[in-house]
Amino acid sequence: MGEAREISNAMIGALLSYVRRAGGEDAIEATLALAGEKRPLALLNDYSSWSSYDQVHAIYSAAVLVMSDPEVGRKAGEELVSTPDAMGMAAYLHNLGGPKEIIALVSEICAKHSTVTEMEMVRADQNSALVAARTKYPITRDRLFCGYTSGLLSRLPWLYGMEPADVTEVQCQARGDSRCIYKVVWDPTTRPDEDPDRHIEYLHRQITMLTDRVESLESAAADLATAADIDTVLQTIVMRSSLAARGHTYVLAVRLPGERDFRIHCLGCTEQEGRVRAAEILGNDLDVKGGSRLVVDVASARHKFGRLAVFYPEGFSFLPHEHRSLRAYAGHAAAALETASALDEARRRGDTLGATLELASAVAQARTSSEVAGVLSTMSSSLVECTLSCVLLWEAADEIFVRAGEPDQQGTSPALRAPHLANRFTRTPEPVMVERVSNDPALAGMLALTGMGSALLVPIISRHELFAVLALGAEEKELPSALRIGPDSTLAERLAGIASIAAPAFTNARLLAQVEYEALHDPLTGLPNTRLLQDEMVRALAHAERQNHQCALLFVDLDRFRDVNDTLGHVGADDVLRAVALIMRSAVRRGDVVARLAGDQFAIVLPHVRGPRDAELVANKIISALGIPFDDFERPVSVPASVGVAVFPEHGHSFDDLLGRADAAMREAKANGGSRFLLGAVR
């Protein structure tokens, strides 16, 4: 750990990616040998690791010789934007709006990759910017890295589907100037909505980005859930926290229930340094050093375990999405520790060891609340020796308890509206015995929902939030003795163990559901995004092909929406887009899917149509509905739309085919005056 941590290995990874693509594995071996690099290739490609300036410079200089290419630096900079490291930030950067907004954060983004070079935006407008870069003394800036910076800046518009920017270095520190100044010019007219092929390529890239993001988070959650013991859990937490926030050093300091000393795990520093930093973050007077330390609590509803921190040199700070990501990750970590703690407690009780481990392992694999409920219902009865069990999920939005499992013949699950019972369980999270002779109508209603003659109701609660109620019972009207909690009974402890395992499992399921929802839905309108649209269209195509019927895809683009932006501003325009989303959803059938692609573009999947005429009727209905001015603003706002229609199988057999045909038809409709629809050309 004595080596300087000055440049992120993302910069090495980008170079190696280019060398591999241009020269193959032999070129990589030659480059690393010439640079005298002995570290494993996996470490050099680990974007959470760091290297010294000299190490990175040696590899870049060697690549110039091996590839016989003085432009290696620029090409590596171009390559960086498409590496996993950059794609991991792309979802956040995409929401900023455009290249100008990214360049405004160039100082913070640069800090994620280098502590020896500073960058800042000098000025910017809608199609150009001046960016300054300075390598700090005593390091001498090298022209290789000037080229790297130029290549990186040129590719920023690519994140939005545009053509690369034209970058000119008007001042150069390597040539004697006080700093490098780059003039960056891009062409906003090359946005993907101007070219159907580029638009489809851009949508594919967004789908890939979101898929990678969800899979990365799912992988992190799975690693925590399946770790064999507590120390493995702790080490996994530290290793995987680099997915949430980029830093130099990571320190985890936690103490499990019943332990006196904190367990400390660290990454990027020595064990002794980790203990010093742990003492700093655990104190009551927490000092985040001007934002260069990112510290979050690792806590569940039952325990505050400790803290997880990411350290960066003073003067640097973290991006907003890193704060959110690390907090969410700490939630995963707390749930994993809660499970691990419960497992340790169960191991001390030999009579329930096997069943508890089996239950914990099973719920750890469950991804949804329904799956957790199914495992809990199936396996908990073996822990408490009862004949019947079921789980009642609490749906707070509708204030109802729903019995988990197979729906009835009408396709619905039995439910009970009982907000007062939910409040009661939350205030007093103790098991409740209910028998058929109960005089409490609310509890009698819950017993009827279980279908049991008598039951022990066990609330599953985390952070004062009710997730579910586990019902353990029998057909008899009176509760069996095995389910009666007495002064000498270990049943209460067993039920507490079940609850301590189930609560973090439900928490994890909800966190994962939230991440998946955000990855599949547009944050502004709540509509499905491009990735979910593609999934729904692929599903509709498969079903249509099996059942020998037709389906359709509509591409909707609002006409003259720029006028709405100019009139109402961005906030007002966002309100209009939300209103448009509501109108479009109300204009289609329940099984149809309305999605927002980007900006003022939407798409609609019609899973079952009898032919083009059905799709045209929907398109006409959308146009008519949007043709009525909105009266909810300071003045009436009109948002007419142009619609392109593509039908399977006439216009294609794949999502790409139909999207391309519908897009082209929409553009033709818009070119013909807008506020109309056109059917795509038959292939």
Q: pLDDT (tens digit, 9 = 90+) per residue, 41-53?
A: 988 987 778 899 9
Q: Where are the beta strands (DSSP E) in 200-356?
A: 249-254, 263-267, 293-299, 304-311
Q: What is the pLDDT of residue 347?
A: 56
Do 281 and 274 contact (CB within 8 A), yes or no? Answer: no
The shares of helix, strand and coil residues in the chain, as percent rounded to the nearest 5, are 50, 20, 30
Q: Between these two residues, 26 and 366, which has the higher pLDDT value?
A: 26
Q: What is the pLDDT of residue 488?
A: 47
Q: Give yes or no for residue 344 having a pLDDT over 50.
A: yes
* Range in 112-116, 436-440, 671-675 with the lowest mean pLDDT: 436-440
* Range in 177-186, 331-340, 591-600, 612-621 with the lowest mean pLDDT: 331-340
Over residues 415-432, mean pLDDT: 90
Q: What is the pLDDT of residue 494?
A: 80
Residue with token string 């999207």: 659
Token pair of 293, please?
């330390």
Instruction: Read off the pLDDT band of 109 (50, 70, 90).
Output: confident
Q: Give yes or no for residue 400 having a pLDDT over 90.
A: yes
Instruction: Read off the pLDDT band of 209 (50, 70, 90).
Output: low
Closest of 551, 554, 560, 579 to residue 677, by C-alpha: 554
**Is residue 363 classed as helix, strand or coil in its secondary structure?**
helix
Domain boundaries for CATH 3.30.450.40 within the chain: 226-343, 349-517
Q: Give yes or no for residue 247 having a pLDDT over 90.
A: no
Could you say which DSSP state residue 163 is in?
Answer: P
Bridge-based pairing of strands 454-462 and 465-474 is antiparallel
Q: Between these two residues, 93 and 433, which has the higher pLDDT value?
A: 433
Distance (Å, whole) CA 623 – CA 636: 17
Highest CATH level, class, for 226-343: alpha beta
Q: What percent of the chain has pLDDT over 70?
A: 86
Q: What is the pLDDT of residue 193?
A: 64
Each residue's pLDDT tens digit, 559-570: 989 888 888 888
Each residue's pLDDT tens digit, 603-645: 999 999 999 999 999 999 999 999 888 877 777 888 999 999 9
* Range in 141-150, 287-296, 356-365, 526-535 with the lowest mean pLDDT: 356-365
The CATH code for residues 7-192 is 3.90.1520.10
Do 363 and 505 contact (CB within 8 A), yes or no? Answer: yes
Each residue's pLDDT tens digit, 253-272: 998 876 768 999 988 888 89
Q: Give yes or no for residue 82 having a pLDDT over 80.
A: no
Could you say which DSSP state residue 682 is in?
Answer: P
- Which amino acid does the sequence have at 249? T
Q: What is the pLDDT of residue 411?
A: 55
Domain boundaries for CATH 3.90.1520.10 within the chain: 7-192
Do 464 and 444 contact (CB within 8 A), yes or no? Answer: no
Instruction: Read off the pLDDT band of 350 (50, 70, 90).
Output: low
Q: Which distant-in-sequence residues (6+ apart) come within 8 Å of 209 by Cβ?
A: 87, 90, 91, 94
CA angle 459, 461, 467 (to 5 degrees): 85
CA angle 63, 68, 73 (to 5 degrees): 50
* Range in 61-75, 91-105, 343-357 with the lowest mean pLDDT: 343-357
Over residues 568-575, mean pLDDT: 88
Q: Give yes or no for residue 573 having a pLDDT over 50.
A: yes
Q: What is the pLDDT of residue 267?
A: 86
Domain boundaries for CATH 3.30.70.270 within the chain: 530-679
* Range in 248-262, 293-307, 480-494, 597-611 with the lowest mean pLDDT: 480-494
Bridge partners, 528 (sequence order): 521
Q: Which distant-in-sequence residues (6+ apart) come within 8 Å of 512 by Cβ?
A: 217, 218, 221, 367, 368
Q: Give yes or no for residue 225 having a pLDDT over 70.
A: no
Over residues 239-261, mean pLDDT: 80
Fold of the domain spanning 530-679: Alpha-Beta Plaits (3.30.70)
Over residues 349-369, mean pLDDT: 70
Instruction: Read off the pLDDT band of 218 (50, 70, 90).
Output: low
Specify the DSSP element, H or E, that contains 416. Answer: strand 415-417
Q: Which distant-in-sequence residues (6+ apart) come within 8 Å of 630 by Cβ?
A: 576, 579, 636, 637, 638, 639
**Is residue 176 classed as helix, strand or coil in its secondary structure?**
coil
- Total Cβ atoms within 10 A of residue 655: 23
Over residues 553-576, mean pLDDT: 90
Q: How many contiguous H segments (helices) and E segments (strands) does the chain have?
A: 22, 21
Q: What is the pLDDT of residue 61?
A: 96
Distance (Å, whole) CA 119 – CA 200: 33
Over residues 488-511, mean pLDDT: 80
CATH of the domain spanning 349-517, picked from 3.30.465.10, 3.30.450.40, 3.10.20.30, 3.40.50.300: 3.30.450.40
Range picked from 63-72, 420-429, 446-455, 485-494 for highest mean pLDDT: 63-72
Q: How many Cα atoms within 13 Å fall on the side-chain side of residue 472? A: 28
Over residues 463-467, mean pLDDT: 89
Distance (Å, whole) CA 233 – CA 99: 40
In the predicted model, what is the mean pLDDT of the chain? 84
Q: What is the pLDDT of residue 335?
A: 81
CA distances (Å), origin 448, targets 414, 471, 530 = 10, 11, 44
Do 72 and 15 contact (CB within 8 A), yes or no? Answer: yes
